[in-house]
Chains A and B, each alone.
Chain A
């Protein structure tokens, strides 16, 4: 459209930095709108743009068709929200070929690439393509990607430019089950514990059993993990045997455990203890034989000059909302590190240029 390929990296960096400078976190709702406005300004006037809002979370769907189609061949999914960071992390800077800042890797730079690829190509493509910009992926994506899908969005294939993939094509993601284990007890004065039944004792045994059945891996492992995220009791007196205790656990399970994971947990629980599933998301799995996956793999290898790996994603991103409905999708983004950590999130600058070309070639190849 307006700029040349030669300067594409400058554009990507400029737009990425604009995004990083906005603290678009859950705690700062005006930042969510502000970051979307930057994207909007970049694309305004060229394309049909649909605005959404759910529970105060804004999102956009930009596409290359004139009619109000709901079914796209390809959706590029980008989230512009970030996890919280220190003030200085919202001042992007370049150093030794890396762009630093909160969201550099997850996924503001990738978002900038997707926006610019879309801007450059969308009009030339002969199929319906949409760019989805959301602002709530980090808190679950229910009011962004999932909301748009509820409103009728459909696609043959979606690519999320998620942080964490570093050019690996993540075609499967673990399922999530957030569970609450409710342990009843019998309250008593703590000087007379034999008159009661301390649920904290049973909690202790259950945690031991979970730990034994699902040891915490010390390295990244494609296995089901169970993390105890909270233990609580409603007891507020320090001299009372509690009447109840609850364990909250975050379960991430690999696709092959789909049918048995909850039964496995239940089998660890003594009688009288209840299991409540607070939220459940199926694992995502796209066969490696999927034609879009194959085309993406081929184009990635052509640009990088090396093999592109197909792997699983440990965490679930917005893709799960698509795969839950039967739409195919993968996570695929540039190289970087330290997203979700306290400091030094970065994205590799050269990889942004590669990412641009891979996406571009992929979209053209589908034409």
Chain B
């Protein structure tokens, strides 16, 4: 089965399956459906984002022992990033690490094992993890899908991520007063209002220059609807991508609010539930044991900087982790996944799924 992983990954990598691009998303889901045609599945759709749920038994009951969670959407990439390349043991392409290679492993492992393992196993294929996951994993969980343990196959360099900074997206808007820009004293420039607000944010949350375990606020967008060059803009919008550490769950919103001048309107676009799974969890410990057996060294536990779909599970009491192969440059240029680590990943997951029947 392992020799099928790289070809399937390449098929996935060739498709620019940016979340919301329905044509490309349908194309990549068709590959999964073809691969798993012998299994029953449910199709979900929310706000135009389709997702699938496969199981090794009928799907009337939506509670499972173990859920494998894979997202097939990616962030934007240049056209050449959709031509997968193998160089020096690395497989390059947009989504190689995040998380098309791991998805291929999960799909093929499910195909290989689903009929032989006695407990209930589900495979969840979603297509909106990058924009937040509300319409994929979030939606399925709302429809009652849950498990005892879920593994999100994000590229974690074979580290077991049991907790993560929590993601929150904040939209800031402000209004000013337009006027001809030859007469700036007649207007109120909304961009300058926002500039003041952002100054406070930058002061309270300086962008770290190196890896940081602290809460991070990134201004990811700053725009105005004004499209003339001789008008003072009367509106301005900025988005703050916030990654807060689990113990700031309750204090983060008041803190951000206190930094904003009165003329700024703050809207919480979403705030996730925290991901904080106990390292004593028996599934987690089994996975760790199987990993160490195979690799011959200890398997680290860690906190993720980025959010995944895991909090959707923890919110309904389903413990979850992120665990995936080794790679780099996800969301940047030159994304790759290490092919040896894919093989390790395949064996660790396989051994884990097989020995989980004894739990």
Q: Which of the candidate stretches B41-49, B187-195, B346-354 sits at the interface with the other chain?
A: B187-195
Complex Cα gap A174–B184 (Å): 14
Report chain B residues within 8 Å CB of A340.
179-180, 183
Given A229-B232, A241-B218, also A191-B243 (CB < 8 A): yes
Report chain A residues within 8 Å CB of B195.
204, 207-208, 211, 228
Question: Is A316 an interface residue when CB atoms closer than 8 A count as contact?
Answer: yes
Report chain A residues within 8 Å CB of B209.
194
Partner of A242, one of B221, B226, B227: B221
The answer on a CB contact under 8 Å between A240 and B181 is: no
The answer on a CB contact under 8 Å between B305 and A192 is: yes
Complex Cα gap A72–B230 (Å): 32
Q: Which of the candidate stretches A15-23, A110-118, A218-226, A299-307 sits at the interface with the other chain?
A: A218-226
Report chain A residues within 8 Å CB of B169.
238
The answer on a CB contact under 8 Å between A191 and B165 is: yes
Report chain B residues within 8 Å CB of A239.
75, 130-132, 167, 220, 241, 306, 331
The answer on a CB contact under 8 Å between B239 and A238 is: yes
Question: Is A104 an interface residue when CB atoms closer than 8 A count as contact?
Answer: no
A189-200 CB contact bits vs B (8 Å, 1 = yes)? 111111110101
Minimum C-beta distance from B251 to chain A (A) = 20
Report chain B residues within 8 Å CB of A341.
179, 186
Partner of A189, one of B186, B198, B230, B331: B331
Complex Cα gap A366–B202 (Å): 64
Q: Please give the number of chain A residues whose Cβ is less than 8 angstroms from any Cβ of chain B in the complex.
A: 54
Report chain A residues within 8 Å CB of B202.
201, 204
Minimum C-beta distance from B138 to chain A (A) = 15
Partner of B199, one of A194, A208, A229, A238: A208
The answer on a CB contact under 8 Å between A216 and B332 is: no
Minimum C-beta distance from A252 to chain B (A) = 5
Complex Cα gap A278–B229 (Å): 10
The answer on a CB contact under 8 Å between A187 and B182 is: no
Complex Cα gap A238–B333 (Å): 18
The answer on a CB contact under 8 Å between B192 and A194 is: no
The answer on a CB contact under 8 Å between A194 and B212 is: yes
Q: Name the residue of chain B whose CB is nearest to the CB of A220.
A: B185
Question: Is A233 an interface residue when CB atoms closer than 8 A count as contact?
Answer: yes
Given A219-B185, A229-B181, A252-B181, also A240-B331 (CB < 8 A): yes
A228-264 CB contact bits vs B (8 Å, 1 = yes)? 1111110111111110010010101000000000000
User: How many B residues touch the partner, as a band?
Assistant: 35 or more
Complex Cα gap A348–B221 (Å): 47
Report chain A residues within 8 Å CB of B231.
229
Question: Is A315 an interface residue when CB atoms closer than 8 A count as contact?
Answer: yes
The answer on a CB contact under 8 Å between A190 and B243 is: yes
The answer on a CB contact under 8 Å between A198 and B219 is: yes
The answer on a CB contact under 8 Å between B189 and A242 is: no
Complex Cα gap A203–B165 (Å): 27
Complex Cα gap A232–B195 (Å): 13
Question: Is B224 an interface residue when CB atoms closer than 8 A count as contact?
Answer: yes
Question: Is B307 an interface residue when CB atoms closer than 8 A count as contact?
Answer: yes
Question: Is B210 an interface residue when CB atoms closer than 8 A count as contact?
Answer: yes
Given A208-B199, A245-B222, also A217-B185 (CB < 8 A): yes
The answer on a CB contact under 8 Å between B220 and A250 is: no
Minimum C-beta distance from B303 to chain A (A) = 11
Q: Name the residue of chain B whose CB is nearest to the CB of A231.
A: B222
The answer on a CB contact under 8 Å between B241 and A190 is: yes
Question: Is A332 an interface residue when CB atoms closer than 8 A count as contact?
Answer: no
Minimum C-beta distance from B40 to chain A (A) = 33
Report chain B residues within 8 Å CB of A238.
131-132, 169, 220-221, 239, 241, 269
B49-60 CB contact bits vs A (8 Å, 1 = yes)? 000000000000
Question: Is B211 an interface residue when CB atoms closer than 8 A count as contact?
Answer: yes
Complex Cα gap A208–B179 (Å): 21
The answer on a CB contact under 8 Å between B182 and A316 is: yes
Complex Cα gap A186–B332 (Å): 8
Complex Cα gap A349–B241 (Å): 57
The answer on a CB contact under 8 Å between A242 and B192 is: no
B213-252 CB contact bits vs A (8 Å, 1 = yes)? 0001011111110111111110010010101000000000
Q: Name the residue of chain A whose CB is nearest to the CB of B231.
A: A229
The answer on a CB contact under 8 Å between B189 and A228 is: yes
The answer on a CB contact under 8 Å between B183 and A314 is: yes
Question: Is B162 an interface residue when CB atoms closer than 8 A count as contact?
Answer: no
The answer on a CB contact under 8 Å between B222 and A203 is: yes
Q: Name the residue of chain A whose CB is nearest to the CB of B216.
A: A193
Report chain A residues within 8 Å CB of B185.
216-221
The answer on a CB contact under 8 Å between A228 and B191 is: yes
Question: Is A65 an interface residue when CB atoms closer than 8 A count as contact?
Answer: no
The answer on a CB contact under 8 Å between B191 and A231 is: yes
Complex Cα gap A150–B183 (Å): 29
Minimum C-beta distance from B332 to chain A (A) = 5
Question: Is A227 an interface residue when CB atoms closer than 8 A count as contact?
Answer: yes
Complex Cα gap A201–B205 (Å): 12
Report chain A residues within 8 Å CB of B75.
189, 237, 239-240
Interface residues of B in 94-149 (CB under 8 A from A): 130-132
Q: Could you list 16 further interchain pairs (A-B, Cβ under 8 angstroms) beyond the known A232-B222, A239-B131?
A: A186-B332, A187-B333, A189-B75, A190-B243, A194-B212, A198-B207, A200-B219, A216-B184, A220-B183, A225-B184, A229-B226, A233-B222, A239-B132, A250-B181, A250-B230, A315-B180
Please, could you name 7 A-B residue pairs with CB atoms under 8 Å apart, sorted by A? A190-B241, A194-B211, A216-B184, A219-B185, A229-B232, A231-B223, A239-B75
Nearest 8 A-B pairs (CB), nearest first? A191-B306, A315-B182, A189-B331, A227-B181, A191-B305, A250-B181, A190-B218, A190-B241
Listed in ascending order, the chain A residues whose CB lies under 8 Å from chain B are 174, 178, 186-196, 198, 200-201, 203-204, 207-208, 211, 216-221, 225, 227-233, 235-242, 245, 248, 250, 252, 278-279, 314-316, 340-341
